[in-house]
Amino acid sequence: MHQFDLKNKTAVITGGAQGFGLDIAKKFLSSGSKVFIWDIDEKELLKATKEVNNSNLNYNVVDVSNFEQVQKTVNDIILKNKIDILINNAGITGPTAELWNYNIKEWNSIININLHGTFYCCKSIVPHMIKNNYGRIVNIASVAGKDGNANASAYSSAKAGVIGLTKSLGKELAKYNIAVNAITPAGAKTKILDQMSKEHVQWMLSKVPRGRFLEINELSSMVCWLSSEENSFSTAAVFDISGGRSTY
């Protein structure tokens, strides 16, 4: 396993109490970074910090769909730290249903957390990165944002929005030493699968030529490189990790 140098760097990882977010946090810590994990579930945050047991791991209870909460937490962190890395990982899939039967409240919740949450975190942290002329932002999108999953129009729309946001922001920040990229994973064995029907999960698996789900550590390794100084040129890009599912 490659080791990237993240010494003297501070990272914020949303949705960091479990799954992708927690594994990314562990890799960052082993690479020398200070890490703030954000999540809406304080119980899971406490469980994660106890499990990891590292003095460089900090947590904040944050609802990323609430801009005021996001802004306040960022302001508190930058009193004593530079934020060098932002991983927008917080997200929900929501239920599966045809678009015309989709519950409006559920639709709005999925868009608010997946897309608006990414926007709010970038809006709050980017000015700080511009001031320091350094930053690495990785937005965890989804292959659904490229292909569009049937019966998951809200999730697919939100992740397509994250891809578009990444491309726009990456171009806006290209004159600075700030890289903004997105990752489009296929399904992985995380708790997010529990939000879906068994039929939908099996359909997702059937679309992957590799014939298996993504392993969490495979995504975390890609995130580590994109978050390092070694990634000095790639920006406004989308990095696929779908086991061959994506056609572009």
- Could you read off the pLDDT tens digit of each residue along the chain, which spans 248 residues? 577 899 999 999 999 999 999 999 999 999 999 999 999 999 999 999 999 999 999 999 999 999 999 999 999 999 999 999 999 999 999 999 999 999 999 999 999 999 999 999 999 999 999 999 999 999 999 999 999 999 999 999 999 999 999 999 999 999 999 999 999 998 777 666 666 677 777 877 777 788 678 889 999 999 999 999 999 999 999 999 877 777 67
Catalytic residue check, 155: yes
Q: Which CATH superfamily is domain 10-241 in?
A: NAD(P)-binding Rossmann-like Domain (3.40.50.720)
Catalytic hit among 120, 134, 155, 176: 155
**Do 121 and 169 meet the contact criterion of CB atoms below 8 Å apart?**
no
Query: Residue 163 has which token pair?
Result: 């891809």
For residues 162 and 157, give the distance between their C-alpha atoms in angstroms, rounded to a whole number: 9
pTM over the 0.75 mark: yes
Domain-by-domain residue ranges, the chain? 10-241
For residues 203 and 123, give the distance between their C-alpha atoms in angstroms, rounded to a whole number: 36
Q: Name the phi and psi angles at 200, rounded to 5.
A: -70, -40
